[in-house]
Amino acid sequence: MSAPQGWEEIRAEVLRRIDRRDWAPGAIIPTEAELAAEFGCARATVNRALRELAAQGVLERRRKAGTRVATLPVRKATLDIPVTRLEVEGRGQHYDFRLLEASETVPPVPVSSRLGLAPDATLWHLRTLHFADGQPFLYEDRWLNPAVLPDGLPEDMAEVSINEWLVKTVAYTYGDIAFSAANARADDAAHLGVEPGAALFITERTTWAGEAPVTAVRLAYAPGYRLHTVL
Amino acid sequence: MSAPQGWEEIRAEVLRRIDRRDWAPGAIIPTEAELAAEFGCARATVNRALRELAAQGVLERRRKAGTRVATLPVRKATLDIPVTRLEVEGRGQHYDFRLLEASETVPPVPVSSRLGLAPDATLWHLRTLHFADGQPFLYEDRWLNPAVLPDGLPEDMAEVSINEWLVKTVAYTYGDIAFSAANARADDAAHLGVEPGAALFITERTTWAGEAPVTAVRLAYAPGYRLHTVL
């Protein structure tokens, strides 16, 4: 190949060789130093290209054993999880929301259990309907642990949605996220303006800040929602 | 802090400082060299920790402007997309599949259009039902471009599912993937053994090898399926 310009070109050339079976599935490929010499580029450039391919599941890298072409690659896809306002605005639509409920109450046992809290612990229950161009976009049913917010809820809850306020207020959280499909419950149907039983895309998140449970939230999207990414 | 052991400890310490607002949202944090000196570790270790945090959306790195704490982080989640056999076996279940159809035919226009092919192009139509512990797990409806497989389909299509065979045969593909929810169509319901209208989790993928379209596939999962990852 002619002298490559950057790591993207190295990556493309490596993919061509894998695709042509110059480097077969399971085979060990040349070292970074050998590839850098062959391509006439810095070893760091080769390293960047191989790291990207390993992150995508195309290559398998082991410190001592070298770099192999994956035999049965597990493809990886990255999803962006923005706050809802930015998700709606990113579609070029006008964002708005309405707070439906903000109460302090004892949650159903599955909620306290997911958060690792005692069954009689009191949580904030916050339900929000998010709109895109004035149409219901997302119905958010959230439980929030008051212990993580010593200053309480924001003064004006009509200003910023609880979703966005939390992202700004609790700087970093760990969590898990699950995507599924469900037939619309009565409350989903009423708020989203659809027939009960309509198939809805559901996101459930549970997040933690250090050892402390923060929030458990269920997001029910209006029909037609697609979560999209590239492979 | 006491001398850290590795990049994970550096990452944890950076998160603690962000969480305590020592480093506020939007603030520029010290340089890698400054942090390496403070922590008594190699600059490469700091670099690894900050790269991970940038990939998670916690930090924003700009070559000239330095590294900032993200003001409104877009969280990123990584999904593993394994072949169906490994997905089922990863759940500790027995995998099996049945090929329902393998024909050559002209697809509906939306399919040829998604693949960028002429509306009268003939494709392979491959429909497969995947089982977990003998129960329907996933109904796969796939269109495949014969031009990318000069040697044709595998001899024994009962041996390896087309899903797994393609991953092994077409070494690397680009593509896009979308997740959504849909009420079960008549064919979904018949194959998965559910009522028409049941809410199903749907994955649609379109993939390319270089310039050539490879496949467009729709996966309909049996009710109860959850796609799970961590944040």
Whether B160 is in a domain gets the answer: yes
Inter-chain CB proximity B176 and A231 less than 8 Å? yes
The average pLDDT across B93-107 equals: 95
Q: Which 8-state DSSP code applies to residue A67?
A: E
Separation CA A79–CA A156 (nearest Å):
31
Looking at residue B208, its amino acid is W
Q: Which 8-state DSSP code applies to residue A58?
A: S
* Residues of chain B found within 8 Å of residue A86, distances taken between Cβ atoms: 72, 74
pLDDT along chain A (231 residues), means of 10: 69 82 86 92 90 81 82 77 86 93 94 92 96 97 91 83 81 82 96 96 92 93 92 76
Separation CA B193–CA B187 (nearest Å):
10
Domain span at residue B117 reads 84-221
CATH of the domain at B63: 1.10.10.10
Whether B79 is in a domain gets the answer: no
Whether B1 is in a domain gets the answer: no
Buried b (16+ CB within 10 A) or exposed e, A115-129: bebeeebebbbbbbb
Picking from A22, A46, A69, the residue at the C-terminal end of a domain is A69
Same domain as B213, residue B104: yes
The average pLDDT across B44-53 equals: 88
Inter-chain CB proximity B230 and A167 less than 8 Å? no
pLDDT at B171 over 70: no
Same domain as B150, residue B217: yes
What value does the mean pLDDT of chain B take? 88
- Residue B211 — very low, low, confident or very high, per pLDDT cuts 50/70/90? confident
CATH of the domain at B147: 3.40.1410.10
Separation CA B193–CA A192 (nearest Å):
29
Inter-chain CB proximity A168 and B15 less than 8 Å? no
Same domain as A180, residue A91: yes
Same domain as A107, residue A56: no
Of A199, A210, A226, the CB nearest to B178: A226
pLDDT at B55 over 80: no
Residues in Cβ contact with B10 at an 8 Å cutoff, skipping those fewer than 6 apart: B4, B35, B39, B41, B45, B46, B48, B49
Per-residue pLDDT, B3: 52
Number of domains in chain A: 2
pLDDT at B185 over 90: yes
The average pLDDT across B196-217 equals: 92
B12: closest CA of chain A, how far (Å): 10
Inter-chain CB proximity A180 and B201 less than 8 Å? yes
Picking from B69, B103, B122, the residue at the C-terminal end of a domain is B69
Residue-wise pLDDT for B123-139, tens only, equals 999 999 999 999 999 99
* Residues of chain B found within 8 Å of residue A167, distances taken between Cβ atoms: 72-73
Same domain as A112, residue A206: yes
Residue to substitute from B48, B75, B166, interface A, most A β-carbons within 10 A: B75
Same domain as B48, residue B91: no
Same domain as A161, residue A54: no
Residue pairs spanning A and B at CB distance below 8 A: 168
CB B175 within 8 A of CB A230: yes
Same domain as A113, residue A182: yes
Residue-wise pLDDT for A35-94, tens only, equals 999 999 999 999 989 988 887 778 888 777 789 888 776 777 888 888 899 889 888 899
